[in-house]
Chains A and B, each alone.
Chain A
Amino acid sequence: MTTFAAPTEPLVRIRGLTTVLNGKTIFDALDLDIPRGKVTAIMGPSGTGKTTLLKHVTGQMRGDAGQVLVDGQDVPELSREKLFALREKIGYLFQNSALLTDFDVFENVAFPLRQHTQLPEVLIRNIVLTKLQAVGLRGAAGLMPAELSGGMARRVALARAIVFDPMLILYDEPFVGLDPIALSQVLKLIRTLNETLGITSVLVAHELEAIKQVADHVYLIANGKVVAQGDPKTIAEDGSPWTRQFFGGAIDGPVPFQYPADDYAQALGLAGARA
C-alpha cells in the first residue's frame, strides 16, 4: 500500500476547516488530527456536523476554507481519479449500512473486489468468506439484505468496508439501534480490526460507555470547534461547561434546549397582555 506521508504523521490532519451550509456555520476554523493505528471517536451534540466531518475526509463535501489532509494528500484538491484511488484505501460504514439491495450478502461483500480487481472467482470467494467469517456471518452469505437484522446488516457492511484491508475505516453512528449483544459484537470487531490489522478507525457516536470500551482518543465537537479532547475514560471529568452538559445529559447549557426562535409570548399573541 502506497503511503504519501511519514508513518509518524497523523493519518488525517485537518487545519482551519471552515464550512458554512445554508447560512449556518458548521465548522469554524476546525483543527483536528487522527493518529495512525488508533481508534478515535468524534462526539458532539446532534447537528454539530460529525457526519459532515466524515464527508470532508472522504471528499464527498468541500469546505469553504482550510485543509483536509488524508495520508498526506489534500483531499479537496484531488482529481476524481486520485480521489477514487484514495477511497479504495478507506472503508466507510454508513449509519444505515447502505447495502446494495439487489445483491445477496456474498455479492455485497464481493462488490468492491469485482469492480476493482480481475481476481479469479476462487480467490474472490475465499476473500469474501474470510471477511464474513471475521464478522461472524459466513453462514448468512446467501441471505438478501432485507432478511438481515439491523445488527447483521451493520456487520455485513463492515465486512464490505474491510474487504480491501483499508488503512482507514470511518464508522458513522455504528452503535445506533443495536441490542446489547449486537453492540458487544460490533465493539469487539472494531477493536479486533484495529489490533490485528492496525487499521486506523474513526468513530462518530454518542454512546460514551461504548466509546470508553473501544476508543483511544475522543474529540468533543460543538459550535464548529473542538471544545474538548482526551482519553475517553477521563474526558467526562474535564469540567468545562460543554463536557458537563454533554456527558451529564443536562437539558440546558451551552447547547440550548430551544432551537433559536422569536419571543415565545409574542408568538402566542400574549405580548400586549403582558404589558
Chain B
Amino acid sequence: MSAQPRRNVVTNALAQIGEAGLFLLTLLAAVPRSLRHVRETVRQLWFVGAMSLTIIMVCGLFVGMVLGLQLYYVLSIFGGTAASGTVVAIAIYRELGPVVTALLFAGRAGTSVTAEIGLMRATDQLAAMEMMAVDPIAYVAVPRYLAGLIAMPLLCAVFCALGIFGGHLVGVTWLGIDNGTFWSNMTATVDVWKDVVNGILVKSLAFGAVVSLIAVYQGYTTPPTSEGVAYATTRTVVASSIAILALDFVLTAFLM
C-alpha cells in the first residue's frame, strides 16, 4: 500500500520533467518564427527584467550589508577584517548573486509569467490567437522565455554590484575597515573568469533557462480554471526553487 503513492509521485515528477523537456524543444523550434515578434520580446524584457530591478537592487544591497556585518564580527576575532572585501566579493559572485537573484526572479517574474499565460489560456486568449492564425508558442511563450534568459544575467550583475556596495558600506564606511585594503584584497584574489564570469554569466544563464522554462511551461499547460492557475503559480515557485538549488550544486561541482 505504501509503495504505490511513492511510485506515483516519482513517476509523475519524471513525467513532468519529460513533458517540460519536450516543451523546451517546441520552444526552441519556434525561436526562428518568433524573431518577427522582437517588439514583444523587448516588451517582456521590460516586464520581467526592468520591473524586477527594484526588488533585486534592494535585496542585493541588504544581502551585501548583512554579509559585511557578519564577516566583520567573525573576522575581527582573528584580526582578519582586511579579508572582508575578498570574502564578500567571492561569496556574492560565486553563490549569493546568481542563486538569490534566481530565487527572487522566480518569485517576482516567474509567478507573473505563469499567472499571465495561465489566465490567457483560461480566458481563451491563446485559442483566439490560434484562430487568428497567430502561433501562441511563437508570440507568447518564446518571447517570455527569451526575456527571462536575457534578464537573469543582467539582474545578477546588478545584484552583485549592489551587494558589494552594501558590504563596502557596512565594512568600510560604518565599521572602519581600510578602504584601500578592502578593494586591493578583493581585486587581488577575485578571478574574473572563475568567479565573475562563472557566477554572473554561466550560472545565471543556466538558472534563467530553467526558471523561465518552468514559468512558461506551468502557465501554458495549466488547467483553464482559477484553481489551476493558482496551483500552477505555486508550482512555479516550488519547482524553480528546488531546481535552482540542485542545479547550483551540480554547476558548482563542475565549475570549481
Binding site for B on A (CB under 8 A): 58, 60, 84-85, 87-88, 90, 92, 94-96, 98-101, 111-112, 115-116, 160
Question: Do the beta carbons of B123 and A96 come within 8 Å of each other?
Answer: yes
A90's partner among B127, B131, B135 (CB-CB below 8 A) is B131
CB distance from A211 to the nearest CB of B (A): 23
Smallest CB gap from A87: residue in B = B133
* Complex: A151 Cα to B60 Cα, angstroms: 49
| Min CB–CB distance A187 → chain B (angstroms) | 23
Q: A98-B124, A98-B125 are in contact. Are A92 and B134 (CB under 8 A)?
A: no
Q: Determine if B128 is an interface residue (Cβ-Cβ < 8 Å).
A: yes
Residues of B within 8 A of A116 (CB): 133
Residue numbers of B with Cβ under 8 A of A are 119-120, 123-125, 127-128, 130-135, 139
Pair B124/A111 contact, Cβ less than 8 Å? no
B96 to chain A, nearest CB (A): 35
Given known A-B contacts A98-B123, A101-B123, A92 and B128 have beta carbons under 8 A apart:
yes
B130: chain A residues within 8 A (beta carbon): 60, 87
Tell me the complex Cα distance, A207–B49, Å. 49
A112/B128 in contact, CB under 8 A: no
- A94 near B132 with CB under 8 A, answer no
Determine the chain B residues whose CB is within 8 A of the CB of A98 once the complex forms: 123-125, 127-128
* Beta-carbon contact of A88 and B133 below 8 Å: yes
Extra inter-chain contacts (16) besides given A101-B120, A112-B133, CB under 8 Å: A58-B131, A60-B130, A84-B133, A87-B130, A87-B131, A92-B128, A94-B128, A94-B131, A95-B124, A96-B124, A98-B125, A99-B125, A101-B123, A101-B125, A112-B132, A115-B132
In the complex, which residue of chain A has the Cβ closest to the Cβ of B132?
A: A112
* Inter-chain contacts of A160 with B (CB < 8 A): 132
Contact (A111, B132) CB under 8 Å given A98-B123, A101-B123: yes
Choose one: B120, B127, B139; the contact of A94 (CB below 8 Å).
B127
B residues in contact with A94, CB < 8 Å? 124, 127-128, 131
Nearest CB of chain B from residue A120's CB, rounded to whole Å: 17
Would you mind naming 15 contact pairs between A and B with Cβ atoms under 8 Å apart?
Answer: A60-B127, A85-B133, A87-B130, A88-B132, A94-B124, A96-B123, A96-B124, A98-B128, A101-B123, A111-B132, A112-B133, A112-B134, A115-B132, A115-B139, A116-B133
CA of A111 to CA of B125, assembled, Å: 12
Question: How far does the Cβ of B87 sit from chain A's closest Cβ, in whole Å?
Answer: 45
- B239 to A: closest C-beta gap in Å: 26
The docked-state distance in angstroms from the alpha carbon of A96 to that of B120 is: 12
Q: Which residues of B contact A99 (CB under 8 A)?
A: 125, 128
Chain A residues in 8 Å Cβ range of B134: 111-112, 115
Nearest residue in A to B37 (C-beta to C-beta)? A115
Interface contact A100-B131, CB-CB below 8 Å: no
Nearest B residue to A91, CB-CB: B131
Give A58 to B130 CA distance when docked, in angstroms: 10
Q: How far is the CB of A241 from chain B (nearest CB, A)?
A: 35
Q: Which 5 residue pairs spanning A and B have beta carbons closest together?
A: A98-B128, A98-B124, A84-B133, A92-B131, A87-B133
CA gap between A87 and B124 in the complex, in Å: 16
Residue of B nearest to A86 (CB): B133
Question: Please, which residues of chain A bring their CB within 8 A of the CB of B128?
Answer: 92, 94, 98-100
Q: Which of chain B's residues has its CB closest to A84's CB? A: B133
Tell me the nearest residue of chain B to A96, going by C-beta: B124
Distance in Å: Cβ of B146 to nearest Cβ of chain A? 18
Cα–Cα distance between A94 and B124 once the two chains are bound (Å)? 8
Closest chain A residue to B124 by CB distance?
A: A98
Residues of B within 8 A of A90 (CB): 131
Residues of B close to A95: CB separation below 8 A:
124
Compute how far the CA of A210 lies from the CA of B127 in the bound complex, rounded to whole angstroms: 27
Residues on A with C-beta less than 8 A from B123 are: 96, 98, 101
Which residues on the A side are within 8 Å of B127 (C-beta)? 60, 94, 98
The smallest C-beta distance from A147 to any residue of chain B, in angstroms, reads 16
A150 to chain B, nearest CB (A): 13
> Complex Cα distance A60/B120, Å?
17
Question: Which residues of B are found within 8 Å of A92, using beta-carbon distances?
Answer: 128, 131
Q: Distance in Å from the Cβ of B200 to the closest Cβ of chain A?
A: 31
Q: Could you tell me the distance in whole angstroms from the C-beta of B191 to the nearest C-beta in chain A?
A: 44
Docked pose: A42 CA to B125 CA in angstroms: 24
Complex Cα–Cα for A39 and B120 (A): 30
Report B167 CB to chain A, min CB distance, Å: 40
CA of A90 to CA of B128, assembled, Å: 12
Query: How many angstroms between the C-alpha atoms of A98 and B219 in the bound complex?
Result: 17
